[in-house]
Amino acid sequence: MTNEELKNIWLEKFKTVPQSLQNMRTVKAVATAFNTNVDAVLKIKGNKIAELAKQLGLSLADLQNITRTKLETADDVIKGLFRCFTRGIAEEWLTEDKLVYDWMVENLGYDRLQMGGQGGIVANALAVTGVSKVYAHTNSLPELQAQQFLKLDNLLSFDEHGHAQPAYSINREVDIPLIHWILEFDKGDSVTIDGQTFTCPKSNRFIATYDPLNLHLVMDKHFVEQLSKEPVDYIVLSGFHALTERNNGVKLQDDVIPIIQQWKRNGDLVHLEIASTQDIAVRKAIIKKIAPIVDSIGINEREAIDILEVTDFEDLAEKCNQDTHSINMFDALMNIKKHIKAPRIQLHMFGLYITIQDKGFKISPEANLRGMMLAATVAAGKAGTGNINDAKNLLWAQGQKVSDVGLNELKDLAEHLHKPELLSNGIAEVDGHDVIAIPTILVEKPVTLVGMGDTISSISLVGAR
């Protein structure tokens, strides 16, 4: 069968997407936790970096003398930015120092503010789809944070008295904003320090983060209390990746285990989005402590490889590193699932989504397929329009055909598994598990990719109606 014939088959399948979106209105309540913050996005030029370096009295030798990747002084902010700019790389450095935060507020500013953190991004996305109630966890909710929530009355959080209100309307005045500065720079721009000029080799970004509450997994007691007495349909978890061993990140995970277990006893379906976790001790603890007790897990290619590296699958990790095609990534996904014993696990990779779940899982393979097609359409809408803050953007990509990239990946996987039905039906049984896989719609020039994985995972799950 040709790709064009397959595209028409999948185009027909994707016709269920508008109804799947409509069906999300039947979901009574969803909660998202734990990390919500403000992203302050700034396009920064080389001459501004030079100006700030001069203001701080930093020489070229100072800028290149990096002894830590933590923001303990204002000097560190410019050192990290200079390093990323001159190498064309992306890094995130953290601070818990209020003086460094104050310096960044005064000297960096921003071009725009947007919702940050998986919890906040997912809350906005699910609220737009029409879910009846979305409870967003916020450990800090001053007016600046509240302004990043969409003005939707079904999107709720808690004021200082524990009353659930539309999140955008709350102002917990004693709270301080948790801000992640996203400092973007362009390929070809240059910076001159001490007479030497450095040209940026690749467009990228440096993230300077002030977020002491999420770094310590501080939980809002009103959110926890609400969910203990009112069961919800789904809880989407993330934020553990921000922990560090130095900040007691392994022990902090122990504190949340009984809370997750209570939610499961309530009948909530708990999904964990495993974001990129740099601290290896924390990553190991997430896989050992949190992942085995949830119902569902979401990962991308890099996160899958990260898990393999700390679960005695180093050879497979290296294989996936060298070639992240669908066959290797399916093997990775199956090994991770068996190791963690997760009932459901989903991988979103470029052009293809794959879900593996236990037989008899509470969401059927057919419903999963519908949810994944809805997520693929919404993700393409987000990429093509820049945001899904307006409900009309959700179906922007409806009627577009799936990509050749995704079809070719799915062809290879179906052939490898000897499951030709996977290519045209999207559902097969492999090794006693249900496998659901779909090629996705790709946007040639995406306006944004921020928060894409979180959007895909949450809508795939909640949209499986």
Q: Which fold has domain 3-27+233-462?
A: UDP-N-acetylmuramoyl-L-alanine:D-glutamate ligase (3.40.1190)
Q: Please, which residues have CB within 8 angstroms of residue 425's CB and are 6 or more apart in sequence?
A: none
DSSP class of 240: G
pTM of the predicted protein model? 0.93
The first and second tokens of residue 108, run together, are 């960096």
Residue 195 region by backbone torsions, left for phi larger than 0, else alpha for psi between -120 and 50, else beta:
left
CA nearest to 439, candidates 409, 419, 465: 409
Position of tokens 């419903």? 367
pLDDT at position 275, please? 87
pLDDT at position 450, please? 80
Please give, one letter per residue, the 3-state secondary structure of 265-289: HCCCEEEEECCCCCCHHHHHHHHHH
Q: Which residues of the chain have pLDDT under 70?
A: none
pLDDT at position 408, please? 97
CB 382 within 8 A of CB 455: yes
Q: Looking at the structure, give the CATH architecture of the domain made up of residues 39-115+176-211.
A: 2-Layer Sandwich (3.30)
Report the distance separating Cα 181 and Cα 43, nearest Å.
10
pLDDT digits (tens, 9 = 90+) for 421-458: 999 999 999 999 999 999 999 999 888 888 899 999 99
pLDDT at position 294, please? 98
Report the distance separating Cα 116 and Cα 132, nearest Å.
23
Q: Please, which residues have CB within 8 angstroms of residue 278's CB and are 6 or more apart in sequence?
A: 241
pLDDT at position 276, please? 87
Report the distance separating Cα 200 and Cα 191, nearest Å.
8
Query: How would you list the strands of the sheet with 296-300, edge to edge?
Result: 164-166, 155-158, 133-136, 29-33, 234-237, 269-273, 296-300, 344-349, 352-358, 433-439, 427-430
Beta bridge partners of 208: 93, 181
Give Cα 148 to chain centroid, integer Å. Answer: 17
pLDDT at position 449, please? 80
Q: Where are the domains of the chain?
A: 3-27+233-462, 39-115+176-211
